[in-house]
Amino acid sequence: MALTGREHWKKIWVGSAGNMVEWFDWFVYASFATYFAGAFFPDDNPTAQLMNTAGIFAVGFFMRPVGGWLLGRIADRRGRKTALTLTVTLMSLSALLIAFAPTYAVAGYGGAAVLLVARLLQGLSVGGEYAASATYLTEASAPERRGFASSFQYVSMTAGQILGLGLQIILQRTLSDDALHSWGWRIPFVVGALGAAVVFYLRRAMLETEVYEEAASGEERGTMRALWRHRREAFLVIALTMGGTVAYYTYTTYLTKYLSNSAGLSKETATLVSFTALIVFACLQPLAGRLSDRVGRRPLLITFAVGSTFLTVPIMTMLGHVGSFWPALGLALLALVVVTGYTSINACVKAELFPTGVRALGVALPYAIANALFGGTAEYVALWFKDAGIESGFSWYVAGCAAVSLVVYVTMRETRDLDLNRVGSGREPSSEPKARLAS
For residue range 137-156, list pLDDT tens digits in order.
888 888 888 999 889 988 99
CA distance 431 to 439: 16
CA distance 344 to 335: 14
Average pLDDT over every residue of 362-390: 89
Angle (nearest 5°) at CA 125 between 110 and 38: 30
- Cβ count near 398 (within 10 Å): 25
Mean pLDDT across the chain, nearest whole number?
A: 86
pLDDT per residue as tens digits for the range 321-345: 998 999 999 999 999 999 999 999 9
The pLDDT, as a whole number, for residue 10 is 76
The pLDDT, as a whole number, for residue 108 is 74
The pLDDT, as a whole number, for residue 142 is 83
In the chain, what are the domains?
A: 12-209+222-411 (1.20.1250.20)
For residue 4, give the H/E element and its range: none
CB 164 within 8 A of CB 195: no
CA distance 258 to 250: 9
One-letter amino acid at 125 equals S
For residue 437, pLDDT over 60 is answered with: no
Q: Where are the alpha helices (DSSP H) in 214-324?
A: 224-228, 231-251, 255-261, 267-295, 297-319
Higher pLDDT, 52 or 93: 93
Choice among 41-45, 119-123, 271-275 with the minimum mean pLDDT: 41-45
CB 185 within 8 A of CB 308: no
Percentage, residues of the chain above pLDDT 90: 47
CB 244 within 8 A of CB 138: no
CA distance 358 to 350: 12
Candidates 353, 351, 340; CA nearest to 289 is 340
Average pLDDT over every residue of 397-417: 95
The pLDDT, as a whole number, for residue 426 is 57
For residue 231, pLDDT over 50 is answered with: yes
pLDDT per residue as tens digits for the range 175-225: 998 898 889 989 999 999 999 888 888 888 788 888 888 876 667 888 999
List b or e across 176-185, with b for residues whose CB sees 16 or more CB atoms inside 10 angstroms: eeeebbbebb
For residue 56, give the H/E element and its range: helix 46-78
For residue 401, pLDDT over 70 is answered with: yes
Distances from the Cα of 392 to the Cαs of 246, 312, 315, 378, 382, in angstroms?
Answer: 15, 11, 11, 14, 9
For residue 250, pLDDT over 90 is answered with: yes
One-letter amino acid at 251 equals Y
Higher pLDDT, 137 or 26: 137
CB 260 within 8 A of CB 345: no
Higher pLDDT, 301 or 116: 301
Handedness of CA 37, 41, 44, 47 (dihedral sign): negative
CB 307 within 8 A of CB 338: yes
C-alpha 278: how far from its chain's center?
13
Helix-then-strand count for the chain, H and E: 21, 0
Higher pLDDT, 85 or 33: 85
Number of residues in the chain: 439
For residue 338, give the H/E element and its range: helix 325-343
CA distance 416 to 345: 10
Handedness of CA 375, 377, 379, 384 (dihedral sign): negative
For residue 298, pLDDT over 90 is answered with: yes
Cα R_g (the chain), whole angstroms: 21
Average pLDDT over every residue of 292-304: 97
The pLDDT, as a whole number, for residue 5 is 63
Higher pLDDT, 358 or 131: 358
The pLDDT, as a whole number, for residue 433 is 41
The pLDDT, as a whole number, for residue 42 is 67
CB 76 within 8 A of CB 360: yes
The pLDDT, as a whole number, for residue 48 is 65
Percentage, residues of the chain above pLDDT 70: 92
The pLDDT, as a whole number, for residue 431 is 42
The pLDDT, as a whole number, for residue 258 is 94
For residue 391, pLDDT over 70 is answered with: yes
